[in-house]
Homo-oligomer: A and B are copies of this chain.
């Protein structure tokens, strides 16, 4: 028979494998114990903290190389990337200067920075510059919330060398931000045949 602690640790393992971006705070709430207990459990089970789990997943999921900017210049951690198709990044706003002091609402330009650098990263070109952006701020994001941005390449205007990328950002399952970017690129070499075909219809 399983003891109380074994049961809890089994649940903890399951929770983290199902939702790897869950915070200790939220695990503690779900399992109705203190954050300290969760930290000790993780130590005993050799499960790294959230930040390291994200970096680990980021490292193992990047099947392709970002070309348009050095990865250190991406705002947020990219955890999935398929060039000219889609990308996902995670950002947690922790610092005080990134939120409005009055209400702890995350300042809009950080949401924009995460989305914009993701839209640049998905372009398979050595020079990619944002020319237009059409932003909707849909819901306020608070300090310490985890923002997941998802980029999708919508198509490329081959004549103007501009690629349209749509980014939607979520906190938990709720959309908080969306933006359509038009990205200028120096050439079209990075586009695979299929992308060229699909996108030349635009």
Q: Interface on A for B, CB 8 Å cutoff?
A: 69-70, 73, 75, 100-103, 105, 107-110, 112-113, 116, 127, 129-137, 140
Contact = CB atoms under 8 A, between A and B. Distances in A.
Contacts of A113: 107, 109
Nearest to A115: B109
A83 to B, nearest CB: 18
A129 B137 contact: yes
Contacts of A136: 131-132
Given A100-B69, A100-B73, A108 B130 contact: yes
Given A73-B100, A113-B109, A135 B134 contact: yes
8 interchain residue pairs of minimum CB distance: A109-B113, A133-B135, A109-B109, A108-B130, A109-B112, A134-B134, A130-B137, A131-B137
Contacts of A69: 100, 102
Given A107-B113, A109-B109, 13 more contacts: A70-B101, A73-B100, A75-B109, A103-B127, A108-B112, A109-B110, A112-B133, A129-B137, A132-B135, A132-B136, A132-B137, A133-B134, A134-B134
A75 to B, nearest CB: 8
A134 B136 CA distance: 9
A173 B108 CA distance: 28
Contact of A112 (B75, B112, B132): B112
A115 B131 CA distance: 16
Contacts of A140: 129
Given A132-B135, A134-B135, A108 B102 contact: no
Contacts of A109: 75, 109-110, 112-113, 116
B116 A108 contact: yes
A130 B135 CA distance: 10
Contacts of A103: 127
A133 B132 CA distance: 11
